[in-house]
Amino acid sequence: MTTLYGIPNCDTVKKAQKWLTQNNISYTFHDYRKDGLDEQLLTSFLVNLSWLDLLNKRSTSYRALTSQQKENLDESNVIALFIEFPTLIKRPLLINEDKTILGFKAESYQAFFSA
């Protein structure tokens, strides 16, 4: 089963969805805002990725954090911030069985599904 995680208005998520559809890859889309985001789901992401990999430092949400929040980020408090501000998570996150890929590049997706 393939699940694409993100937010629907993200251009990169839209590109990933288009690629998956064009390549006839069946997937489920999980909208962080509509379908929810909780500690259990985030912990499952952290099995294959570090919280630093997931953290989107280019997001408006990250820039809006206080200096103190940025300086004190660690695995114990970043999950609460991810839940409060889902756009802090890099997008899209694609999980296919036990394999994970973060972000979207057509050539990366091609290699991901060819392996």
Q: What share of the chain is helix, strand, coil (3-state, %, to 5)?
A: 50, 15, 30
Residue of 3, 4, 5, 10 marked active site: 10
Catalytic status, residue 10: yes
How far apart, in Å, are the Cα atoms of 81 and each of 11, 20, 68, 106, 108? Answer: 23, 29, 13, 30, 28
Catalytic residues: 10
